């Protein structure tokens, strides 16, 4: 009896693991896709994969969206903890096990991603299901890609930066420090902590700061005058998931 119970527990554990992690399964011809087109602004329920003992198939529910142009995607969630996986291709044998992006619901229950133009299939990552909706915001062609065209940025103003795919171009900003003081820069993305390289020059073109900034960073005292901040386009070394996050940045200073 004890041997039988051990075998039964082992079989149950294996079945639970397979159902909870469907994107890693390799069985051929075992998937039944339920794909629905999801319009912008409409709430959808990302449900985890289920398994039918009668048919011997996994049922995978996915929502299909189309990113029409350069810009960014905003994902709103109903609750904290939901995590979505974005896929570019699907087939009858298995779900493509390479995610091209992820959206995670954190404290503010919103996520921003920069995705190349195209069609995507969205589902919950493992068992982190929940309700969500999406919208697309087109980004204009930036003009401040050179120091000579630096965009004035007032103290305390939040600047939303979108690095579209294709030609890489850094963004330049001009800031005016009215009194000698230490300045604080803020960089963040949907991971809550920013990851961007900032390069700051004085009015004579001398480099005075060049580092990776994560979240909030205080920089040594600045004299009264004009300074130029270069926000560098991120390079994530082929990590598509991080790149989708890091190409969206919110930057400010005070």
Q: What is the pLDDT of residue 23?
A: 41
Helix %, strand %, coil % for the chain, to 5? 15, 45, 40
Across 121-144, average pLDDT: 90
DSSP state letter for 141:
P
Task: Evaluate whether 213 touches 198 at the Cβ level (below 8 Å).
Answer: yes
CATH number among 2.60.120.10, 3.30.420.40, 2.60.120.380, 3.40.50.720, domain 147-253: 2.60.120.380
pLDDT over 70 at 57, yes or no? yes
Q: How many CB atoms are closer than 10 A to CB 230?
A: 19
Q: What is the pLDDT of residue 22?
A: 40
| Stated length of the chain | 254
Across 38-54, average pLDDT: 89
Q: Which pTM was predicted?
A: 0.80
Q: What is the pLDDT of residue 251?
A: 93
Which CATH class name applies to 2-138? mainly beta
**What digits encode the pLDDT tens for the residues 185-236?**
999 887 765 678 999 999 999 999 998 888 889 998 899 999 999 999 887 6
Q: Which residues contact 92 (CB under 8 A, 6 or more apart)?
A: 29, 31, 33
Across 31-45, average pLDDT: 92
> Which stretches of the chain are DSSP H helices?
2-20, 240-246
């Amino acid at each position: 009896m004890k041997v039988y119970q051990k075998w039964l527990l082992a079989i149950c554990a294996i079945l639970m693991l397979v159902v909870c992690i469907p994107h890693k399964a390799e069985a051929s011809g075992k998937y039944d896709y339920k794909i629905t087109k999801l319009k912008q602004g409409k709430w959808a329920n990302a449900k985890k994969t289920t398994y039918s003992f009668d048919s011997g198939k996994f049922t995978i529910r996915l929502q299909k969206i189309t990113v029409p142009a350069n810009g960014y995607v905003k994902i709103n969630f109903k609750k904290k903890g939901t995590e979505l996986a974005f896929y570019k291709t699907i087939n009858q044998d298995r779900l493509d096990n390479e995610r091209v992006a992820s959206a995670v619901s954190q404290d503010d229950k919103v996520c921003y991603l920069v995705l190349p133009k195209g069609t995507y299939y969205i589902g919950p990552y493992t068992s982190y299901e929940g309700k969500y909706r999406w919208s697309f915001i087109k980004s204009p062609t930036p003009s401040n890609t050179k120091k000579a065209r630096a965009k004035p940025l007032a103290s305390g103003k939040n600047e939303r930066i979108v690095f579209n795919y294709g030609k890489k171009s850094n963004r330049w900003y001009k800031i005016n420090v009215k009194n000698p003081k230490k300045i604080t820069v803020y960089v963040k993305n949907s991971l809550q902590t920013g990851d961007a390289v900032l390069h700051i020059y004085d009015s004579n073109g001398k480099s005075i700061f060049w580092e990776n900034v994560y979240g909030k960073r205080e920089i040594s005292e600045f004299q009264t005058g004009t300074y130029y901040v270069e926000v560098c386009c991120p390079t994530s070394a082929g990590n598509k998931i991080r790149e989708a996050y890091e190409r969206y940045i919110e930057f400010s200073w005070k």
